[in-house]
């Protein structure tokens, strides 16, 4: 399998070597239709139903016919709960029992993830760092890391971008590191095994920590038939 090469940086923003990247993950052409279908499907599945209106069967009262059918000169009505009446039910209003979930094929989701990673790599928005691990929970150290990495060419606004700046993918669970970056609303820190197309589309930069251990979790796990996506 053909491999791409990318630089690896230290936590201080200095080059420390290179890494071979699989063509099947970082060398795919852009597929807008696939990415759109997967991302919108994930957003729809994550939608929380809050708005809820009452139809004519939910509105209280209205059991008695307002007036007799004929002889009054007025239009005929059978219930004050009719949508035609003020205070009556709502026709075709939003209901919290509606299901917005969409089924997303496993292979489609994996292909969309690879496609986005490929596009971001070509755009210079993917950075590989040998290790991002903070021993103690300290926001100042996290800020220093972002400041150092922002000195790398192409990542100048890594720290200054106010919203959705970077998705930092760790090779393993690290509570100290996650909590240290927790005060930065423009950065999301999570394990690389949890990365999704929706996260990649939301954040501009992708910073992958310890890629030697982290990347196999993407290439192997998403390619496994037993994977639950």
119-176 pLDDT, tens per residue?
A: 999 999 999 999 998 989 999 999 999 999 999 999 999 988 999 999 999 999 999 9
pLDDT recorded at residue 61 = 84
Sketch the domain layout of the chain as residue ranges. 3-47+103-219, 49-99
Q: Which CATH class is domain 3-47+103-219?
A: alpha beta
Whether pLDDT at 223 is above 80: no
Strand, coil or helix: 14: coil
Helices (H), the chain: 23-26, 32-45, 106-122, 139-149, 175-180, 197-202, 211-219
- Helix, coil or strand: residue 195: coil
**For position 221, what pLDDT does the model report?**
55
- pTM of the shown model: 0.81
Distance CA 100, CA 199 (A): 20
In this structure, what are the phi and psi dihedrals at residue 53, rounded to the nearest 5 degrees?
-110, 160
- Is the separation of the CB atoms in 88 and 56 below 8 Å? yes
Buried-state track 28-38, b at ≥16 Cβ within 10 A, e below 16: beebeebbebb
Of the candidates 193, 197, 196, 189, which has an alpha carbon nearest to the alpha carbon of residue 146?
189
């Amino acid at each position: 399998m053909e491999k791409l090469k990318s630089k690896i940086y230290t936590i201080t923003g200095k080059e420390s070597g290179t890494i071979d990247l699989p063509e099947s993950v970082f060398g795919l052409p852009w597929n807008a239709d696939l990415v759109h279908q997967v991302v919108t499907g994930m957003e729809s599945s994550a939608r929380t139903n809050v708005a809820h209106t009452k139809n004519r069967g939910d509105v209280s009262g209205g059991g008695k016919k307002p007036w007799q059918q004929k002889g009054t000169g007025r239009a005929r009505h059978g219930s004050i709960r009719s949508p035609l009446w003020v205070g009556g039910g709502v026709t075709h209003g939003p209901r919290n029992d509606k299901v917005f979930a969409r089924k997303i094929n496993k292979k489609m989701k994996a292909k969309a993830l690879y496609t986005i990673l490929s596009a971001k790599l070509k755009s210079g928005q993917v950075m590989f760092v040998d290790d991002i691990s903070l021993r103690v929970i300290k926001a100042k150290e996290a800020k220093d890391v972002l400041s150092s990495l922002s000195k790398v060419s192409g990542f100048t606004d890594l720290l200054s971008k106010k919203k959705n700046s970077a998705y930092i993918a760790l090779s393993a669970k690290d509570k100290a590191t996650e909590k240290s970056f927790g005060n930065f609303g423009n950065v999301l820190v999570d394990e690389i095994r949890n990365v999704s197309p929706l996260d990649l589309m939301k954040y501009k930069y992708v910073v992958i920590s310890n890629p030697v251990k982290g990347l196999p979790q993407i290439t192997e796990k998403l390619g496994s038939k037993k994977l639950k996506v």
